[in-house]
Structure 1
Amino acid sequence: MPPQARAAAVAEDRERGAGREGGGRRDGAAHSDAARGEHTHSEPPLPRPRSADGRLPGERLPGERLPGEHLPGGAQGVEAADDTPRPVVQRSSVRGQILHALRTALVGGELSPGEVYSAPALGERFGVSATPVREAMQQLATEGAVEVVPNRGFRVVERGARELAELAEIRTLIEVPVMLRLARTVPATRWAELRPLAESTARAAATGCRATYAEADRAFHRAVLDLAGNEQLVRIVDDLHRRAQWPLVGGPATRRRDLVADAAEHTTLLDALIAQDLPVVQSLVQGHFAGASQADRA
């Protein structure tokens, strides 16, 4: 064989070997992603020339991610060097989405008090790996919503009427003095700006969905307390508020009329704050918390 032909044949064999090596490396990366529960896509053949570090264009080591990559439905898409989109799960983003979904399911009664749920089963339900579910459940455990059951998963905490009444008492002790101070110092125009949030709670209540109303209810109360300019106060009260929204053991099904009545008090409270009617403000705030507690016990 002529020397030039022999050299071409050797170069071709080397290129084929490089392609097989690169394919094996990409297969290993895909297997690693699958083991973590991450979503991968089949890729078209990549160009054979390698970069200075020996990798094919767009090739990444197992676990390597480009900035900003995550799943569709919350995420940005990033183009790889070969123009092939490669969405990859970002754990922090997925964990936040799963945490929100679990909180919604908890408030809505889809996660029943006393029941044990495993991270793999919930991960299959949400279409993700068990890891972000387990991390989200650990956060719920720190909030007191669930408790760890070794080798089984997480049990939804069973709450009684006494705990709900205690939460209402704590919120009253904290929020009534703050509301009275705000009623004396905040101008009417600032209270008027919160009217759309009060109206949104009424719309949420009209749906009869407890989880939907819970989100709108907390948003309104956070906006009111934000006017105090104390971030720690807002954070602590929001946590107490969230705990007060968890369903009770054997509690009644959500009643739309109770949600509607609770939402109507937001508008009445704004009217009293605008008028600087302190006795009415105090009565409304105390009654608002007590009424929510009694509604859950009914």
Structure 2
Amino acid sequence: KIMPLADEITVYPAHGAGSACGKNMMKETVDTLGNQKKMNYALNPDLTREEFIKQVTDGLLPPPQYFAQNVALNKSGYQSIEKVLESGVVPLSLADFTTLIEDESVLLLDTRNKTEFVEGHVPGSIFIGLDGTFAPWVGALIPDLQQKIVFIAQPGTEEEVVTRLARVGFDNTLGYLKGGFSTWKEAGNDVATINSISPAEFAEQYGNWTNDQILDVRKPTEFLSHHVLNSTNLPLDYINSNMNKLNREEPYLLFCNSGYRSVIAASILMARGFRGLTDVREGFQGISQTSIPLSNYTCPTEIPQEKLDSALAAVM
């Protein structure tokens, strides 16, 4: 039905790069059908129906758990966005904020950018930056849609934070720290940081780390495609269920593709009592430009399904 259509037809994707709803998706928000016919691996007129299904589904990770919860929520109904904003976009004094985060049932989310978080954050807070794939990672990492959330944001972004939380079903936001992180810091409260090094510094230290200590938190498909030799794949998607494989007394070095996911992972581990953590700025993109030994590159679409299944079984 698609191939006979005119090449000049405009195509608007339903999902973008990084979405769990597909694989190898372009980051562009608009294209022509003609270009898709040339570029899109799945639009091959020689494929049979079975081959097409295999092409577009092989290598896909299981859907995040919040997908099913959101489906149920859509069926049962939910609060209006106006009500969610009214209850969630609430400026909290430092005293009220402190009281709330001392409650173990409340999650403290820091939505600033990764550099700000690395340089200083409230101890125990979880980083998921608004400037990255915020909502999908919230949905993938926070298992309970009813989770009570208090957050720290870049001043002026508070309404956007609550709105984007609500888009994946998290409506139980209690408010944000008025004045942002500076309010916490200027009051003389404890501030946590993450040790951060450049890819070049990692190259100098590479021989000092064991393969169990070098944690690549990218997806299994990314790892199998191209990775640092003598590293361990601990996908961020499954970090909560694999934390028992790590030793709180051991130092660990973390990286992802660009540095966003590894800071999320580091924040989760720190909140669970891990202290000797080092994050590699620029992630694999930067590492691949150094002398650090890498595996041979394999196109993600050419990774054998049995190899991917084995990798998934090891982390799920």
TM-score, normalized by length of structure 1?
0.22
TM-score, normalisation: structure 2: 0.21
- Larger proportion of strand: 2
**Structure of higher CA gyration radius:** 1
